[in-house]
Structure 1
């Protein structure tokens, strides 16, 4: 069985994209740009975008939109890093005096000075030293938000031979909550819960999580670090944006879609996990082309029902709606009753996976928000489906095998959507040539 040329092998670990993307010809109803919502983070205000490069693909050069990273002003080095990222994202051609990596070193040096002068330090020097001994020296800042920073470390040693990169997600309690012990407990529980869930997952299409390490002095839980697998290929949004046509060929999109379904089938299986915040920014890539699902901060755990039980038994409850206005959020998250959880959180991931596939194939989103009242593009899609009509965009990218699958995944009724295992075993997806064999070990 032929396997298409792997598009990721030539992607450098430190690949940078510059210049403005080419524009697409405007249509009668222009679909919204494929705007970045943040790598490894949802659009929820409590989880700010944490990526160092925000780019967008625009359909109309006269209506260019930039996704600005909101950052409150703070005099600390962490704040200076945030301001640097915000300036670089909004004006990518403006040269700035320092980089996020330099500001990180300034922050560490400032903390060391505070320790030597008897002031209350933010970070424990011995714990930071132990972190770098285990995972190597910090070589890059790949993501940054108000409450977290993603560091890349490089561990090299001659004997025994080792040459590995790691992603270190440093989380801190939001500054506004510093005076509240209850908020500190909530922050610690949230971080611990995210790590406890992620560390139990073992699948080649899920980012591996290694350990949770405290970084604050003493028993201070306000600063901690989660060590994870580093994915050198960047995220799916960056791959789409860097493509010559700002969209992926069918064979590449199908390959990545199949890998996503493999990961979702594992999550939705006996482990009973629904991601609930899938977006191209949360799908990372290795330099071999292996797609990995990241960021389980909004995940919901459930139990497959037994005889006579409800359709799904929710074990851990989270916010009903994950994120803000986003095309990847399913419409029932707006219309569900405010008293409880979704009937089956897995259907949310199926909706998001279909929208992600459309984004890969078209470089755009058909709507900004899955709401008939607030988005004309989505209202038109719903009207077409109610009248038994087909969508022009979906018709243009689908085949006889894929068309019905995509429409069923985008069913307004969540109960009518297929499971990830059903889509994976469909004639369409089973026939996809994938660059990562199912039996391969990444």
Structure 2
């Protein structure tokens, strides 16, 4: 009876953030009892969001409509392309007889659906062709092709697809090019240090579940561009939003396993990501997950050290930030990565966010979670998991960082060990050692002319 009552009271936040300019819309299904929101604030919220909420609901019904009669001709044709012995509830994820599976991610279709969604909301500026006036340097175009479609936007840069055509090779090779934005009135020294710090870390990481960073070049406008491998499966966030109610269990488990393996590699080599979220996890067409965007990454342990450095401060997106980051105390940066992995897993399973922010006084959902933890019970979102899943995720989303499970303990967990992960690191040498430049960002001279590391020799 207690669990049933909690299930009725517990609410979740839809995993849908619409970014329009500098505004971030977060629509909450229902406000829990006990919230300190005043009536005046509530009325203002209702007035301001009622119209947008109606449009979101109408559009989501169109996007996530599951009636078989609504399939387009292209979707119907794809549904017939299933090999004998395979069973599937959708074309993106196919199970085989041997208990294995196949990912088939069509990013172009999801992009089209997302474009229609933003269009109906009256929001523009989604993936589009590059402006002809934006001219890149010949060195960048000659080496990697001309950057064209925008596939990602953030506070620190824009990511485009570069199309490289080889005369003697049929077709074209694609690269992802991240253009670092220089903030208004940002000093040149700070700008150079910021982008080189990210590049020094990312270019020294070599793992199947970490994005491969190739080069750092300058365009004719003076902006630096980081060249990376291109993954045609899009990002995990888009996949979750367009999945309609969450990913299939085996599908989400596979992505979770790849994420944990990638994070373990980072932590083994002294790097904490500090901004793990579905938007920063990209996928290949066959479902290989790769961690990207190391703009907030930090080195908690140098190659010659045995003990990690503690840190303090907030960075990342609020729903994925661990509670200890909101306190003015030192903490282990590895533990915040682990916390984020748990939130991401629940997002994949439910297509929802557990809470807006992990602060008891500011979020009723997080407060309810803390109360359930004290009673050793599980609230509604966790009741959809198996016993093994609940036990592990509960240890990952542990509010006390001192009690939170470590990455090594996750790897040896019985339920985690049972997950079939279709993409694993094949070589052991690169899994245990990386170039020393990855953890040398503190030694980077702020003078742009003084940067002479081999790994960034081609940056100018």
TM-score of the pair, normalised by structure 2: 0.67
1:99, distance to aligned residue in structure 2 (A)? 7.8
CA contact (8 A) 1:135 1:153 kept: yes
Distance 1:29 1:395, change over 3 A: closer
Cα displacement string for residues 85-113 of structure 1 (whole angstroms, at most 9, x for unaligned residues): xxx799513789998645522333xxxxx
The 1-side partners of 2:359 and 2:118 are apart by: 31
CA contact (8 A) 1:354 1:410 kept: yes
1:174, distance to aligned residue in structure 2 (A)? 1.3
Structure 2, unpaired ranges of 5+: 1-6, 31-48, 57-114, 429-460
1:159, distance to aligned residue in structure 2 (A)? 2.4
Counterpart of 1:64 (choices 53, 59, 73) is 53
- The equivalent of 2:131 in structure 1 is 104
Counterpart of 1:388 (choices 352, 376, 381) is 376
CA contact (8 A) 1:234 1:285 kept: yes
Which region of structure 1 is more displaced relative to structure 2, 152-161 or 402-411? 152-161
The 2-side partners of 1:352 and 1:196 are apart by: 24
1:147, distance to aligned residue in structure 2 (A)? 4.5
- The equivalent of 1:375 in structure 2 is 363
CA contact (8 A) 2:15 2:347 kept: yes
Map 1:27-38; keep pairs closer than 5 Å: 28-36=9-17
- CA RMSD in angstroms, aligned pairs only: 3.4
Residue 154 (str. 1) matches residue 163 (str. 2): yes
- The equivalent of 1:300 in structure 2 is 298
Distance 1:65 1:363, change over 3 A: farther
1:304, distance to aligned residue in structure 2 (A)? 7.9
1:143, distance to aligned residue in structure 2 (A)? 1.9
- The equivalent of 1:320 in structure 2 is 313
Map 1:218-367; keep pairs closer than 5 Å: 222-243=222-243, 245-269=244-268, 271-303=269-301, 312-313=308-309, 320-324=313-317, 326-337=318-329, 341-342=330-331, 344-367=332-355
The 2-side partners of 1:392 and 1:355 are apart by: 15
Distance 1:412 1:97, change over 3 A: closer
The 1-side partners of 2:126 and 2:346 are apart by: 35
Cα displacement string for residues 299-318 of structure 1 (whole angstroms, at most 9, x for unaligned residues): 111228999x8x5235xx6x
Distance 1:96 1:254, change over 3 A: closer
CA contact (8 A) 2:320 2:343 kept: yes
TM-score of the pair, normalised by structure 1: 0.69
The 1-side partners of 2:427 and 2:126 are apart by: 38
- The equivalent of 1:187 in structure 2 is 191
CA contact (8 A) 1:36 1:281 kept: no
- The equivalent of 1:200 in structure 2 is 204
Say how many residue pairs are matched: 344
CA contact (8 A) 2:162 2:175 kept: yes
Structure with the higher helix share, 1 or 2: 2
The 1-side partners of 2:296 and 2:207 are apart by: 19
Counterpart of 1:140 (choices 143, 149, 159) is 149
Cα displacement string for residues 403-422 of structure 1 (whole angstroms, at most 9, x for unaligned residues): 22111111111121122222
- The equivalent of 2:182 in structure 1 is 173
1:138, distance to aligned residue in structure 2 (A)? 2.8
1:390, distance to aligned residue in structure 2 (A)? 2.4
Cα displacement string for residues 313-368 of structure 1 (whole angstroms, at most 9, x for unaligned residues): 35xx6x611135x221000001232xxx42x1100011000010000001101111
The 2-side partners of 1:413 and 1:438 are apart by: 32
Map 1:383-422; keep pairs closer than 5 Å: 383-397=371-385, 399-422=386-409
Distance 1:160 1:366, change over 3 A: closer
Distance 1:233 1:99, change over 3 A: closer
SS of 2:347's partner is helix
The 2-side partners of 1:407 and 1:95 are apart by: 39
- The equivalent of 2:87 in structure 1 is none
CA contact (8 A) 1:304 1:313 kept: no
CA contact (8 A) 2:18 2:25 kept: no
Distance 1:234 1:90, change over 3 A: closer
CA contact (8 A) 1:56 1:66 kept: no
Cα displacement string for residues 391-434 of structure 1 (whole angstroms, at most 9, x for unaligned residues): 2321322x222222111111111121122222122111111122
